[in-house]
Each structure stands twice: as structure tokens, then as C-alpha cells.
């Protein structure tokens, strides 16, 4: 599946207002479904679908009938997804937060399936045809990507409201596949604060610090906003104008982050056949307040998600290893060298290796990943247990199906790691 996003342009303010009403109605249906589930024990997904039809016929809520019937069903499905997620978590005792389904207050999107809208033949315009009669908008889409897909391939359409306007997301039934030449190149990466990541060859990718750059402007805008806030009163137009400005700044940062994550992840996947990274539990790290801002700024999680995505379409392998000991171990002799957060250099008292802290960690991460892959190929995963370092499971995503290629990945590096490393 592929998502293509296009901005909805050149509509009148009334047209956008109608889209907004459709979004609000979708939220209304979803919340009604959650309410129904709370009040009626043993509610099933099917019951919620039936509830949609009842709501549409209800004369006290005439606007529900305006929303396309499939969009109403999608809203019920969304409610059900939240309920199903909750049930799943209830069965898992290791998860503390169960996520009881909540009512939505600030929903930003409505989802259509295949009816309720019409695309023009040249794919440059879209017309919404359901009861809200939002009418025709121009589609502005940077890659002009929509022309390549038939309307049968468009499975769903989501209208999303953002700080700078309304967007359409097309969910397209298409498996993206890229050519990838197997070279046997493997890499471990250590995600960090100083550098965005350091790889096991000693290369670094700098941290962009988008938030820091925009932070000044954001702080100023935020200050203005709180000055305009009136407690316990209806907020003024000026307040809402400023609120929009702040939201746009946040949007800018999140777009820059996403862009950067995509570019870095793609470059990494294109030039390697195996990528190993640390499975960082960002939510735990963010609790450390001194680091919180820069950690969420670095957006490691988003980056690793993109690495996985590109690994799939390039048919390579990636492994997320548990982070224990990767910074402490000496990557040459395996001795434990304890460090504080501020120790930037790894100096081994046993084998006298001197390495950059992150470089040392990246090599350890790669080793851990290769060990895991080796065990996986031998069918011994989970059978070891004698190694005190071996706690926590790795996550393995193998997308290249050639087992021979995989064993070629594991072998050369075992000899390489014996040869030791030249300190930088
Ligand atoms: Zn050592």
C-alpha cells in the first residue's frame, strides 16, 4: 500500500467549511459508537455498523445522513479499532497502560472508501458528492503521482485538516519495489544526540536540530499566544489567529523532520544489505528531562520506521537489537568499560583501544545484530542463554529471501572483527 498526499486548493471558504462539517460528523459518529459500546455489554463490530444506519435515520441528528454511508462506516471502524486495541492490551499483562477508548474532541480527518467523491480524468481535480456538497477542489500534489494509478487502485481517501489547509490522502493498492544490487555491505548505527547517527565504519550524520532553529520563533509566538489567552472567557479572534501561527510553526518542524528522516533512511538502505540499529525505548529516555527536548527533536523512532519501510521495498534485512551494553563493551576485546553520559571517548584499559564513544557503540550494535542473524540462520535463536550479555530479544526483519546472501552477510565480518580496529 502506498499513500499519496495532495493539497486541496482553490476552494471557497464555504467549501472548506463543509469539509470541516464532514470531519466533525465523522467524529460524532465515532464517539456515538464508543458510547454505545460503553453502554451495551457484548457489542460487536457489526452492531456498530448497524448503529451507523440508525444514526443516519435519526431526525434529531439530520447531519449524519449527509455524510457518505461508507464514510460513516469508516468512522464506526475507527471506533472499533480503538476498542479492539484496548481488548488486545487487556490480554497482555506486560502492558500497563490499557488505553481505554476515549471520546475524540479534536478529530482532524474523515475517511471515505470508494464512493462520496469523484476524481477528474486528468486527476487534477476532486469533487465531493456526498450530502455536505463540498464541491470541486484542485489537487496539488508535488510528485504528480496520482496520474500513474487507476481508480481501482485507490482503496480509500482521507481528508485531513492541518494548520495550513486541507489535504487528501489517497491509499493506493500498489507494492513499491526498488532494484537493489547485493554487495554484502553491512552496517550498525548508533543513534545519538551529538551526531544523529554514527555508523560502524566511523561515518557520522549530523543532527539537524530543526526544533532548536525554529525554537526561538516558536517561543516568541507562544509567548504572544499566552498573553492573548483569557481565562474562563471566550477567546478573541486575535488569539485564534496567533494559535494558527503557532500551529504552523509546529507543522513546519514536523515536515522538516519527516523529510530528513526519509532522506537519511533511504541513503542508508540504498548502500547496505543489512542495517542494525538499537531498539531504543524513546518514551523511557524522554523521562530524563534534561535530554527530553533534544531526544524528541532527534526523532529516532520515525527514522527507524522509515529504515524498516525502505528495507522492505529494497528487499534488504534490518535488525533492531536491545541496547544493553552497547556503549559499555569494548568493541575489540569485549571488556566492560563504564562511562558516564559525558564520556565521549572509549578508552579500554585491557587492549588499549581508543575509539569515539559512538563509533565503539555502532560496532557493538553491528556485532550484536550479526550474532543474532547467525543464530537465526543456525536455528539457535533463544537457545543460547549462557551469555550474560544476552538479555532482551532482537527484532529481525528479513526481506531478501535468498538465504545464501544472508549467510554471506554474516561470515566475512566475523573474521573482520578479529583483526581489531585502528583508533581514530
Ligand atoms: Zn578492549
Q: What's the pLDDT at 120?
A: 87
In a domain, 177, yes or no: no
Query: How far is ligand 1, taken at its centre, from the CA of residue 51, in Å?
Result: 66
DSSP H or E segment with residue 113: none
Same domain, 237 and 371: yes
Query: How far is ligand 1, taken at its centre, from the CA of residue 357, in Å?
Result: 13
Query: How far is ligand 1, taken at its centre, from the CA of residue 88, in Å?
Result: 45
Residue found under cell 513499491 = 176
- Name, in order, each residue with C-beta under 8 angstroms of 170's C-beta and a sequence gap of 6 or more: 3, 4, 5, 6, 146, 149, 154, 156, 157
Confidence class for position 298, pLDDT limits 50, 70, 90: low
In a domain, 423, yes or no: no
pLDDT per position as a tens digit, 239-296: 999 999 899 988 888 888 888 889 999 999 999 999 999 887 655 555 565 665 555 6
Same domain, 44 and 168: yes
Instruction: Decide which of 216 and 391 is more confident.
Output: 216
In a domain, 230, yes or no: yes
**Rounded mean pLDDT of 79-91?**
88
Same domain, 207 and 164: no
Query: How far is ligand 1, taken at its centre, from the CA of residue 336, in Å?
Result: 8
Which of 172, 206, 226 is a domain's end point?
172
Same domain, 153 and 201: no
Query: How far is ligand 1, taken at its centre, from the CA of residue 411, in Å?
Result: 22
Same domain, 205 and 293: yes
Give the total number of structural domains in the chain.
2
Query: How far is ligand 1, taken at its centre, from the CA of residue 282, in Å?
Result: 29
- Spatial CA neighbour of 111 closest among 50, 67, 141, 48: 67
Nearest-angstrom CA–CA distance, 256 and 251: 9
Which of 172, 195, 216 is a domain's end point?
172
In a domain, 238, yes or no: yes
Confidence class for position 374, pLDDT limits 50, 70, 90: confident
In a domain, 45, yes or no: yes
pLDDT per position as a tens digit, 334-357: 889 888 878 889 999 989 889 999
Q: What's the pLDDT at 290?
A: 60
Same domain, 234 and 349: yes
Query: How far is ligand 1, taken at its centre, from the CA of residue 356, in Å?
Result: 13
Classify residue 327 by burial, with Cβ atoms within 10 Å: 0-12, 13-18, 19+. buried
How many helices and strands, by DSSP H and E, does the chain display?
A: 11, 15
Query: How far is ligand 1, taken at its centre, from the CA of residue 391, in Å?
Result: 21
Structural domain range at position 331:
186-418
Query: How far is ligand 1, taken at its centre, from the CA of residue 423, in Å?
Result: 12
Same domain, 160 and 266: no
* Three-state secondary-structure class, residue 9: strand
pLDDT per position as a tens digit, 146-171: 777 777 888 889 999 999 899 999 88
Q: What's the pLDDT at 399?
A: 74
Same domain, 163 and 213: no
Angle, alpha carbons 77-157-119 (nearest 5°): 145
- Spatial CA neighbour of 45 closest among 81, 70, 90: 81
In a domain, 178, yes or no: no
Query: How far is ligand 1, taken at its centre, from the CA of residue 410, in Å?
Result: 22
Same domain, 110 and 203: no
Same domain, 373 and 301: yes
Which of 109, 142, 172 is a domain's end point?
172
Q: What's the pLDDT at 386?
A: 41
Query: How far is ligand 1, taken at its centre, from the CA of residue 204, in Å?
Result: 22
In a domain, 403, yes or no: yes
**Number of alpha carbons in the 13 Å side-chain half-sphere of residue 366:** 30
Query: How far is ligand 1, taken at its centre, from the CA of residue 17, in Å?
Result: 65
Query: How far is ligand 1, taken at its centre, from the CA of residue 276, in Å?
Result: 22
Same domain, 17 and 164: yes
| Residue 177 CA from chain centroid, whole number | 20
In a domain, 424, yes or no: no
Which residues surround the ion ligand 1 when the cut-off is CB under 5 Å? 330, 332-333, 335, 348, 350-351, 353
Amino acid at each position: 500500500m502506498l499513500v499519496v498526499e495532495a493539497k486541496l486548493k482553490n476552494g471557497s471558504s464555504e467549501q472548506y467549511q463543509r469539509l470541516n462539517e464532514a470531519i466533525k460528523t465523522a467524529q460524532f459518529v465515532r464517539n456515538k459508537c464508543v458510547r454505545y459500546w460503553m453502554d451495551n455489554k457484548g457489542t460487536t463490530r457489526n452492531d456498530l455498523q448497524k448503529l451507523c444506519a440508525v444514526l443516519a435515520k435519526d431526525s434529531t441528528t439530520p447531519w449524519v445522513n449527509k455524510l457518505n454511508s461508507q464514510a460513516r462506516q469508516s468512522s464506526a471502524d475507527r471506533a472499533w479499532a480503538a476498542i479492539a486495541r484496548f481488548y488486545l492490551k487487556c490480554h497482555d499483562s506486560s502492558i500497563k497502560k490499557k488505553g481505554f477508548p476515549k471520546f475524540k474532541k479534536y478529530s482532524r480527518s474523515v475517511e471515505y472508501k470508494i464512493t462520496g467523491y469523484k476524481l477528474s480524468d486528468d486527476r487534477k481535480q476532486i469533487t465531493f458528492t456526498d450530502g455536505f456538497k463540498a464541491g470541486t477542489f484542485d489537487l496539488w500534489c508535488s510528485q504528480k503521482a496520482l496520474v500513474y494509478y487507476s481508480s481501482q487502485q485507490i482503496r480509500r481517501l482521507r481528508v485531513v485538516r492541518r494548520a495550513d489547509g486541507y489535504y487528501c490522502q489517497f491509499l493506493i493498492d500498489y507494492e513499491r519495489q526498488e532494484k537493489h544490487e547485493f554487495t554484502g555491505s553491512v552496517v550498525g548505527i548508533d543513534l545519538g544526540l551529538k551526531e544523529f547517527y554514527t555508523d560502524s565504519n566511523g561515518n557520522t550524520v549530523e543532527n539537524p536540530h530543526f526544533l532548536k532553529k525554529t525554537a526561538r520563533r516558536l517561543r516568541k509566538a507562544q509567548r504572544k499566544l499566552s498573553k492573548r489567552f483569557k481565562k474562563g472567557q471566550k477567546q478573541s479572534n486575535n488569539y485564534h489567529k496567533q494559535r494558527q501561527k503557532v500551529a504552523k510553526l509546529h507543522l513546519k518542524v514536523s515536515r522538516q523532520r519527516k523529510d530528513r528522516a526519509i532522506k537519511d533512511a533511504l541513503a542508508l538502505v540504498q548502500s547496505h544489505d543489512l542495517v542494525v540499529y538499537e531498539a531504543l525505548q524513546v518514551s523511557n529516555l524522554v523521562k530524563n528531562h534534561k535530554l527530553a527536548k533534544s531526544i524528541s527533536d532527534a526523532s529516532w523512532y520515525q527514522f527507524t520506521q522509515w529504515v524498516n519501510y525502505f528495507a522492505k521495498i529494497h528487499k534488504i534485512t534490518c535488525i533492531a537489537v536491545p541496547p544493553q551494553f552497547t556503549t559499555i563493551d569494548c568493541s575489540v576485546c569485549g571488556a566492560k568499560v563504564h562511562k558516564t553520559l559525558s564520556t565521549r571517548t572509549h578508552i579500554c584499559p585491557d587492549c588499549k583501544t581508543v575509539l569515539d564513544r559512538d563509533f565503539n557503540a555502532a560496532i557493538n550494535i553491528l556485532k550484536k545484530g550479526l550474532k543474532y542473524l547467525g543464530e537465526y540462520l543456525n536455528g539457535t535463536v533463544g537457545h543460547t542463554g549462557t551469555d550474560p550479555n544476552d538479555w532482551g530479544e532482537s527484532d529481525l526483519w528479513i526481506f531478501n529471501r535468498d538465504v545464501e546472501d544472508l549467510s554471506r552477510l554474516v561470515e566475512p565480518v566475523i573474521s573482520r572483527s578479529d583483526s581489531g580496529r585502528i583508533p581514530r
